[in-house]
Amino acid sequence: MKPGKRLILFYLPGTVLYLALFVYPTLTGLYYSITDWDGLSPSYRYVGADNYARLAEDIVFRKSFANNLKFMLAVVLVQTAVSLALALQLTKKNKRTVALRALFFVPTVLSSVSVGFIWTFIYDPSLGALNGLLEKLGLGALTQNWLGDMDLAIFSVAAVQAWAHIGQMIVLYVAGLQAIPRELLEAARLDGGTRGQVFRKVTWPLLAPAAAIVVSYTTIQSFKAFDLVFTMTGGGPAYSTEILSTFIYGAAFTNGTFGFASAASVVFLALISLITYLQFRLLRADRVSY
């Protein structure tokens, strides 16, 4: 029963759409990056690697890169640690854990704009709940301008990013934890292992693939976090929350330098591809068998 040549028909519509609206634009993007196109004029000049050279020297670009790294590290640390800690409590299959897992997942189905507005409200220095709560608890000295302080803003946004996605990572961890055969854990406990030892010697190594997925997914997600930053701070104050994706948007649509922005996208693409590739390799190498 050789599959018929009709199969080409199955590929056709999707592939045509994909080539036309995904592959072709990506390739033309690469092309724009070596021009000085402003997005509007019908004509433009080739500038070779000029855009890339300018990127390397552009202060805002370098700041965006650094901010993105700060953001990513903060999000990855908080998101992966908290979701693991919570997932460990939610592995049993009963009504309570199912309900809690669903509750924790709710922020994930909200749009980033909604999440952004909710937390911009909470972070409001005078009307917001966070400062209000701190005052009521007598901790008024700790109140901050969460989104207006240049050093703090990026971390405030990172906290929100984590809030929005911890639920999703919990689901991944729970799946990973539930895949660990009970017998192994029980054998370890019978052999006299304390809870800590069982975790370190049995659970953690077998959880490594799930953990790798969580870390890499979070990393890539935090590089792509356009919607949230755009909604909450628009890159401010003073570019302290500008990340690569908002930089690209700004360079293209606010400053009208499409060529320059395309060069930034190419750099961004290279970075993400690298991370994705490393993720693939890391996962293949982490197949633990027992």
Question: Could you say whether residue 109 binds other proteins (CB under 8 A)?
Answer: yes
Question: Could you say whether residue 138 binds other proteins (CB under 8 A)?
Answer: no
Q: With the CA atoms of 60, 63, 64 and 69 taken in that order, what torsion angle do they form, in degrees rounded to the nearest 10?
A: 170
Q: What is the DSSP letter of 127?
A: T
Nearer to other proteins, 40 or 151 (CB): 40
Q: How far is it, in rounded angstroms, from Cα 118 to Cα 153?
A: 16
| Residues numbered 170-199 forming contacts with other proteins, rule: CB under 8 A | 171-172, 175, 195
Q: At 53, list the tokens.
A: 């050279």
Among 134, 155, 272, 286, binds other proteins (CB under 8 A): 272
Nearer to other proteins, 204 or 277 (CB): 277
Cβ count near 129 (within 10 Å): 14
Indicate the SS3 state at residue 6. coil
Question: Could you say whether residue 7 binds other proteins (CB under 8 A)?
Answer: yes
Question: Could you say whether residue 168 binds other proteins (CB under 8 A)?
Answer: yes
Q: How far is it, in rounded angstroms, from Cα 179 to Cα 203?
A: 10
Interface mask toward other proteins for 226-265; x: CB under 8 A: xx--xx------------xx--xx--xx----x--xx--x
Nearer to other proteins, 154 or 259 (CB): 259
Chain-centroid distance, C-alpha 140: 33
Q: Which stretch binds other proteins (CB under 8 A): 44-52, 54-62, 100-108, 179-187?
A: 100-108
Interface mask toward other proteins for 69-98; x: CB under 8 A: -------------x--xx-xxx--------
Q: Which of 219, 242, 217 is nearest to 230 (CA)?
A: 242
Listed in sequence order, the residues at least 6 apart from 54 whose beta carbon sits closer than 8 Å to its beta carbon are 260, 263
Distance between start and end Cα atoms, the chain: 37
Question: Could you say whether residue 136 binds other proteins (CB under 8 A)?
Answer: yes
Minimum distance from residue 3 beta carbon to other proteins (Å):
4
Question: Could you say whether residue 204 binds other proteins (CB under 8 A)?
Answer: no
| Residues numbered 24-63 forming contacts with other proteins, rule: CB under 8 A | 24-26, 28-29, 32, 39
Question: Could you say whether residue 22 binds other proteins (CB under 8 A)?
Answer: yes
Chain-centroid distance, C-alpha 164: 10
Listed in sequence order, the residues at least 6 apart from 78 whose beta carbon sits closer than 8 Å to its beta carbon are 158, 159, 162
Number of amino acids touching other proteins (CB under 8 A):
95
Nearer to other proteins, 62 or 281 (CB): 281
Among 117, 145, 149, 208, binds other proteins (CB under 8 A): 117
Among 121, 139, 179, 181, binds other proteins (CB under 8 A): 121
Listed in sequence order, the residues at least 6 apart from 56 whose beta carbon sits closer than 8 Å to its beta carbon are none
